[in-house]
A and B are shown apart, each in its own frame.
Chain A
């Protein structure tokens, strides 16, 4: 029998495109922009594009908070736990919550029943620097979006959890990863865009902000954070960020860090995106003379083009890993009878900044932690007044050339405030900042760049400043720069804050408590032990006439990985992985 054969060998992965079909329950871009006022849902990371983490809900108040009890708890299960830093989203009676190791669940809020689970299939060899966390999802139309530890963006069908599209943010083998919640904003030119940053500043990646089409995942624009790198718009090169070699001597800008690992915020009023940028790479600052723009900065971007509208550098020529990604929260500040379009940010470097959000002009900078050593203060131009002897010494000037002089700097590299988002109350006009009082011994070492390897050139160990506490929740008045009240916590605080129209401030502690405080006095009004440390951000919403509160629990994050002497107060804490939902039971609601 004669047979004809044809053989073919082929390898390839092609791009996929999907198109959404709208139904009545679909989330619109207007819903997202209106999220802070609409109390029946939580559609954005930060309870609104400005991420003020303020809910006007006042059903739950200082008097009835004592009656707040759990409704259900949902376990993330699996054999992998680690840190849970996620903020859930709430839409149409369904909670969308992400977890460690790039997992997501949809849960029926009425019953606590799981609707679906998605587990990203992660490759071996991912390089997350600081735990395998995820901070949350975004929602638009009939899809939910989140980023995975192998630096991919995934769009899932909100009804089924099936993958609609998946796109690459960066090469995980070069140290790129992704942990932040995506941000969705409107544009005139492109319709809604999904905006993401990237992670990997400890591996010499190049920070960037990218915008994608939510239906297809196709890239709309990209904007590197480091001067000398080119951006793109509609598939073509657009403009260079800054001017090559202006603030970076030599060629270290090519692996300059500046990761945008905490994501960003948006202000619908001035139509700008605000992103914090991380530490320059390597940590050893003697290798990269100059201000190193735009590392350890806040940058404002035009969502239409990805062009930099303004930049403000909190730590020029950073030598302490004052990785300034911290969220920039737009708010309107009443001062001397005027309303100022302001924005505020509490930096890793220990200073609380108020800027003019329309142009980045410096308004004020005040310390929010004690005993800051690296700078005496912020001058009238917004530039830190450095303490030269508090910069780690140059290893090239040491006897053997291998280790520079060690110094004790405050705050530590984990920051006066780390990733955990603060809240701003439009009721009290105060910012509630989760902060930590600690310092570090730090010294520099020689280092050269190698793909996929840690790129630090520094050694360090963290020490608490005080015997009885590290964590400190502070109420900051942005007009005066004064702290109105403080709550002290033994373990470092690592969770976000929520404040409400009912006069409550919520945050969690590594010791396992979700706590509520009086927004005017800081008095602790309520607490609940969840059984494992809390390092995530609480939310609140209204469903069927009742006010709900939810928090994700599960100890982890960067503290147990990097904590030095701090480990003594956290080493006994156990891991977990759950979401807890609370409300006032019906029989107590009238009291």
Chain B
């Protein structure tokens, strides 16, 4: 039962050791120097971290393996819960053919997201957390990976009736503290990038979590690099200690719609 917790604990042993440079302008790009020395940094910043000043900030913790066991499923955890008033979290794999992994808008959730990503080659991961004042707080990690994560067919295509299993979901919600729950959603979906030969892009692209009164908890835009059978962990904020429910709605690029309720237990005494 504690497998998830054990896995995360094991991961934390593999934390990339990164030192963040201070946000001084030491080049002619108008951008702070990238501690990961990504050749794509200016391009990534111009494309994804727009309309606000950019600072590297060690309150944006990006936890990733230094060497990926499996380039199709690289676990990444973004913990920016030390930041308040967060508008959005944008995660990018610089050297992927399609860099944008996901965007989270944590309306009534902690500034935190866990997911798995496909990597086409070793790559810096940049995560921008934009606060309400417009400032982009950047963190990142560098992951060494074997090639080809984005251009191979999904594993589920080996079975004849894979389409019948679309959207089959496993979820878990638990609560060790009063003020938030930890929920993980895993849905069956090939998350085809469109880059494998003869297979068009087909992926889960919208996921929304709301509370029992319809209030928005968090919205996630997913893109092609998110791993097959997308697995997302979020930390919804909880207003009371009582057991409650959350509603999850998702949609893929073919217009298939998935929806279910998730039980959240009462806070532990």
Binding site for B on A (CB under 8 A): 1-16, 78-80, 103, 119-121, 123-125, 154, 162-166
Given the interface pairs A3-B268, A80-B198, A121-B202, the reply to whether A8 lies near B255 with Cβ below 8 Å is no
Task: Please report the C-alpha to C-alpha distance between residue A103 and residue B201 in the assembled complex, in whole angstroms.
Answer: 12
- Does B18 touch A at the CB level, under 8 Å? no
B26 at the interface (CB under 8 A from A): no
Let me know if B265 and A4 touch, CB within 8 A. yes
Q: Do B200 and A4 touch across chains, with their CB atoms under 8 A apart?
A: no
A308 to chain B, nearest CB (A): 32
| Complex interface bits, B174-196 against A, C-beta within 8 A gives 1, otherwise 0 | 11100000000000000010100
Interface string of B242-269 (1 = CB under 8 A from A): 0000000001011111111111111110
Minimum distance in angstroms from A168 CB to a CB of chain B: 11
Q: Find out whether the CB atom of A8 lies under 8 angstroms from the CB atom of B171.
A: yes
Identify which of residues 225-242 in chain B touch chain A, using a CB-to-CB cut-off of 8 Å.
none
Are A79 and B253 in contact (CB-based, < 8 A)?
no
A2-B268, A4-B174 known; A13+B256 contact, CB < 8 A: yes
Q: Within the complex, which residue of B201, B253, B257, B261 is in contact with A15, where a contact is CB–CB below 8 Å? A: B257
Chain A residues lying within 8 Å of B194, measured Cβ to Cβ, are 119
Q: How far is the CB of A151 from chain B (nearest CB, A)?
A: 13
Q: Does B9 contact A (CB under 8 A)?
A: no
B176 adjacent to A166 (CB under 8 Å): no
CA distance A102 to B63 in the complex (A): 41
User: By the criterion CB–CB under 8 Å, are B176 and A3 in contact?
Assistant: yes
Question: CB distance B255 to A4 under 8 Å?
Answer: no
Which 5 A/B pairs are nearest by Cβ-Cβ distance?
A: A119-B200, A4-B265, A163-B255, A6-B263, A121-B202
User: Are A10's CB and B169's CB within 8 A?
Assistant: yes
Starting from the known contacts A6-B263, A6-B265, A124-B160, 17 additional A-B residue pairs (CB-CB under 8 Å) come to A2-B268, A3-B175, A7-B171, A8-B171, A9-B169, A9-B170, A11-B169, A12-B167, A12-B260, A13-B166, A13-B256, A13-B258, A14-B257, A16-B255, A119-B194, A121-B200, A125-B160
- Assess whether A6 is in contact with B255, with CB atoms less than 8 Å apart: no
Find the A residue at minimum CB distance from B165: A11
Find A166's partner among B198, B254, B267 (CB 8 Å cutoff). Answer: B254
Let me know if A11 and B174 touch, CB within 8 A.
Answer: no
Q: Is the CB of B261 within 8 A of A6?
A: no
Kindly provide the distance from the CB of A188 to the nearest chain B CB, expressed in whole angstroms: 29
Range of interface residues on chain B?
35 or more
Q: Mark B153-174, 1 if CB is under 8 A from A, else 0.
A: 0000000101101111111111
A13–B252 alpha-carbon span in the complex (Å): 11
| Least distance between A82 CB and chain B CB atoms (Å) | 13
Compute how far the CA of A16 lies from the CA of B254 in the bound complex, rounded to whole angstroms. Answer: 11
| Measured CA separation A165–B251 after assembly (Å) | 11
Cβ of B257 and Cβ of A13 under 8 Å apart?
Answer: yes
Q: Does B13 touch A at the CB level, under 8 Å?
A: no
Q: Is B10 an interface residue (CB 8 A)?
A: no
Say whether B1 faces chain A, with CB atoms less than 8 Å apart. yes
Bound-state CA distance A13–B165 (Å) is 10
**Contact B174 A165, beta carbon cutoff 8 Å:** no
B197 at the interface (CB under 8 A from A): yes
On B, residues with C-beta under 8 Å from A are 1, 5, 160, 162-163, 165-176, 192, 194, 197-202, 251, 253-268
Q: Is the beta-carbon distance between B265 and A121 smaller than 8 angstroms?
A: no
Query: Chain A nearest CB: distance from B167 CB in Å?
Result: 6
B253 contacts A162, C-beta separation under 8 Å: yes
Contact B168 A6 (CB under 8 A): no
Closest to B5 in A: A3
Known: A3-B176, A6-B263, A124-B160. A166 touches B202 (CB 8 A): no
Q: Which of the listed residues A10, A15, A125 has the most CB atoms from chain B within 10 Å of its own CB?
A: A10
Q: Which residues of A contact B261 (CB under 8 A)?
A: 8
User: How far is B261's CA from A15's CA once the two chains are assembled, in angstroms?
Assistant: 16
A208 to B168, CA, bound (A): 32
Could you tell me the distance in whole angstroms from the C-beta of A114 to the nearest C-beta in chain B?
A: 14
Q: Are B251 and A8 in contact (CB under 8 A)?
A: no
How many Å from the CB of B49 to the closest CB on chain A?
A: 24
Bound-state CA distance A123–B163 (Å) is 7
The answer on a CB contact under 8 Å between B257 and A1 is no
Residue of A whose beta carbon sits closest to that of B260:
A10
Task: Tell which of B163, B173, B176, B254 touches A120, judged by Cβ atoms closer than 8 Å.
Answer: B254
Q: 7 A–B contact pairs at CB < 8 A?
A: A3-B176, A6-B263, A7-B171, A10-B168, A15-B257, A79-B197, A166-B256
- Smallest Cβ-Cβ distance to A156: which chain B residue: B255
Chain B residue with minimal CB distance to A2? B268
Q: Please tell me if the beta carbons of A12 and B255 are within 8 angstroms of each other in the complex.
A: no
Asked if A6 contacts B172 (CB within 8 A), the reply is yes
Are A8 and B174 in contact, CB atoms less than 8 angstroms apart?
A: no
Closest Cβ of chain B to A7, distance in Å, is: 6
What's the minimum C-beta distance from A218 to chain B, rounded to whole angstroms?
14
Q: Tell me the complex Cα distance, A303–B265, Å.
A: 53
Contact among B160, B163, B166, B265 for A5, CB-based, below 8 A: B265
Residues of B within 8 A of A154 (CB): 254-255
A163 & B253 in contact (Cβ 8 Å cutoff): yes
- Would you call A1 and B166 a contact (CB within 8 A)? no
Determine if B201 and A7 form an interchain contact, defined as CB atoms under 8 angstroms apart. no
Min C-beta distance of A119 to chain B, whole Å: 3
Which of chain B's residues has its CB closest to A13's CB? B256
Shortest distance from the beta carbon of B168 to any chain A beta carbon, whole Å: 4
On whether the beta carbons of B264 and A6 are closer than 8 Å, the reply is yes
Q: How far is B168's CA from A8's CA once the two chains are assembled, in angstroms?
A: 11
Q: Which residue on chain B has the smallest CB distance to residue A18?
A: B255
* A9 / chain B contacts, CB cutoff of 8 Å: 168-171
- Complex CA–CA separation, A9 to B257 (angstroms): 16
Q: Which residues of A contact B166 (CB under 8 A)?
A: 13
Given contacts A79-B197, A119-B194, A124-B160, contact A7 B257 (CB under 8 A): no
A12 to B261, CA, bound (A): 12
Task: Please measure, in the bound complex, the distance between the C-alpha atom of A27 and the C-alpha atom of B163, giving whole angstroms.
Answer: 34
**Is the CB–CB distance between B192 and A8 below 8 Å?**
no
CB neighbours (8 Å) of B199 from chain A are 121
In the assembled complex, the CB of B194 is this many whole angstroms from the nearest CB of chain A, namely 7
Question: Contacts A14-B258, A121-B202 hold; do A4 and B266 have CB atoms under 8 A apart?
Answer: yes
Please report the C-alpha to C-alpha distance between residue A6 and residue B261 in the assembled complex, in whole angstroms: 11
Closest Cβ of chain B to A132, distance in Å, is: 13
Q: Are B255 and A166 in contact (CB under 8 A)?
A: yes
Contact A121 B192 (CB under 8 A): yes
* Contact call A7/B256, Cβ cutoff below 8 A: no
A5 / chain B contacts, CB cutoff of 8 Å: 1, 172-174, 265
A555 CB to nearest B CB, Å: 20
Which residues on B sit within 8 Å (CB–CB) of A119? 194, 200-201
Residues of A contacting B258 with CB < 8 Å?
12-14
Cross-chain contact A165 with B192 (CB below 8 angstroms): no
Q: Inside 8 A of A124's CB, which chain B residues have their CB? A: 160, 162
Q: Given the complex of chains A and B, what is the CA–CA distance between A3 and B267 in angstroms?
A: 8
Which residues does chain B contribute within 8 Å of A4, judged by CB atoms? 174-175, 265-268
Interfacial chain A residues near B5, Cβ < 8 Å: 3
Closest to A152 in B: B254
Q: Closest CB-CB distance, A154 to chain B, in whole Å?
A: 7
Tell me the bound Cα distance from A79 to B176 in angstroms. 52
Q: Which residue of A lies closest to B171 (CB)?
A: A8
Q: How far is the CA of A213 from the CA of B114 in the complex (A)?
A: 40
Contact call A8/B265, Cβ cutoff below 8 A: no
For B174, B200, B251, the residue with the greatest tally of chain A CB atoms inside 10 Å of its CB is B200
Instruction: Give bound CA distance, A53 to B241, whole Å.
Output: 69
Residues of A within 8 A of B167 (CB): 11-13
A16 / chain B contacts, CB cutoff of 8 Å: 251, 255, 257
The docked-state distance in angstroms from the alpha carbon of A5 to that of B183 is: 10
